[in-house]
Amino acid sequence: MSNIKIFLCTTFRDFNGTENDEIQRQFLRSIENQNYKNFELVVTLFGEKKVQQEVEKYMFKSAFFHDKAGHYKYSLSQVLMNGIKYALANEENFIILWSTADIIFTNNFFETIIKNYKKNLLGTSHPHVIFPSIEDFHKKTNKKVKLSKGFDLIYFDNVFLTNELVVESISNYKFYDYGIFEHFLISLNELNHKCNMINIFEEARVYKIENDRKLTQESQQFLSNSHKRNSAIFNRFLNEHKISRKYFNLTYCHLKFKITRNKFSHYLKFCCDILLYEIWSALSAIIPKKFKSYLKRILRGE
């Protein structure tokens, strides 16, 4: 399996002397320390500063694309498309791994992807072990592990991309800035019914460190507006392909994947999250729309 190359596609924030620099360096170190070495980092930049010179300090191969952001700060759709085009031009057999740059891979992560490889693959490791700060990560304090939290990495192979509907959808439905992109990628399985959906969480974990939004200059208004715009794009995709709106729910997305190991203990561990999802699914069908957001906050304990 060592002939399968992994192309890790991502983008970065500025390296500007803040705490977020260290988060991104932890991400880069975790890539450099991978046991499986047949990989390449494919970076798309939207005007971010000092990224290329920082990445090139590390002992792995990397490629860079530069995109001129217009009405948006960044586009994860463009990040993925650049990675796909680059992989198709350079390899016959490959895996595309899309991720954010604020996560940390265990050293066996790429190795575990290859070990569990099946043709026509759509994979992840979820949920992530989330730390609110770099300090909490070092001390291993205040961590959260919940199915209702986002997917910051999805991977698939070249066979998955032979499905024309999948490639057309990635190309035609453009997502900009924050939110919803991972929901879209997971829902692509509905266009490729024979794909193998696997979750390697019980074999290889991902640690996520939350960014300080003040330092990244991403206001709550910016996050809310971009999430709303991307939700409309995703909703259009679901309607046009007659796919369930349940893909807006992250627990539902999680349950679509098959756990590669320790299935019983995994579902037992997250039984409360799954139960909350089932309760919400049952109640949302009968309660008035205006009470749904209020009930959702109660179920989450907010």
Pairing of strands 121-124, 153-157: antiparallel
In a shared domain, residues 294 and 259: no
286 pLDDT more than 80? no
Residue 300 confidence (pLDDT)? 53
- Angstrom distance (rounded) from CA 254 to CA 83: 24
In a shared domain, residues 189 and 286: no
Residue 63 confidence (pLDDT)? 97
> SS3 for 156?
strand
In a shared domain, residues 54 and 190: yes
Residue 78 confidence (pLDDT)? 95
This prediction has a pTM of: 0.91
Between helix 164-172 and helix 76-90 the angle, nearest 10°, is 140
| Burial of 231 per CB tally in 10 Å (0-12, 13-18, 19+) | middle
Nearest of 113, 68, 71 to residue 205 by alpha carbon? 113
Nearest of 70, 275, 96, 259 to residue 174 by alpha carbon? 70
- Angstrom distance (rounded) from CA 246 to CA 208: 25
Residue pair 42/82 in contact (Cβ under 8 Å)? The answer is yes
Q: Which H or E element spans position 68?
A: none
In a shared domain, residues 185 and 294: no
Residue 277 confidence (pLDDT)? 81
> Domain range for residue 105?
5-266
Among the ranges given (198-212, 216-230, 234-248), the one the predictor scored with the smallest mean pLDDT: 216-230
- 67-95 pLDDT per residue, tens: 876 788 899 999 999 999 999 999 889 99
Residues whose CB falls within 8 Å of the CB of residue 76, separated by 6 or more in sequence, listed in order: 11, 98, 175, 181
- Checking 242-247 for CB contacts under 8 A at 24+ apart, the result is 243/187, 243/190, 246/281, 247/183, 247/184, 247/186, 247/187
In a shared domain, residues 116 and 238: yes
In a shared domain, residues 223 and 275: no
Largest pairwise CA distance in the chain: 56
Residue pair 189/112 in contact (Cβ under 8 Å)? The answer is no
Residue pair 209/267 in contact (Cβ under 8 Å)? The answer is no
In a shared domain, residues 160 and 283: no
In a shared domain, residues 223 and 274: no
User: Which CATH number do you get for residue 211?
Assistant: 3.90.550.10
* DSSP count for the chain of H helices, then E strands: 12, 11
> SS3 for 52?
helix
In a shared domain, residues 239 and 293: no
In a shared domain, residues 120 and 248: yes
Residue 189 confidence (pLDDT)? 97
- Angstrom distance (rounded) from CA 259 to CA 216: 34
Residue 204 confidence (pLDDT)? 96
The distance from CA 152 to its chain's CA centroid, rounded to whole angstroms, is: 3
Length of the chain measured in residues: 302
User: For residue 207, what are the β-bridge partners?
Assistant: 104, 129
302 pLDDT more than 60? no
In a shared domain, residues 58 and 128: yes
Number of domains in the chain: 2
> Per DSSP, which regions of the chain are E strands?
5-10, 39-45, 62-66, 94-99, 103-105, 121-124, 129-131, 153-157, 196-199, 206-209, 258-259
Residue 166 confidence (pLDDT)? 96
- 147-182 pLDDT per residue, tens: 888 999 999 999 999 999 999 999 999 999 999 999
Residue 89 confidence (pLDDT)? 95
- 42-71 pLDDT per residue, tens: 999 998 999 999 999 999 999 999 987 678
In a shared domain, residues 248 and 276: no
- 17-35 pLDDT per residue, tens: 888 899 999 999 999 999 9
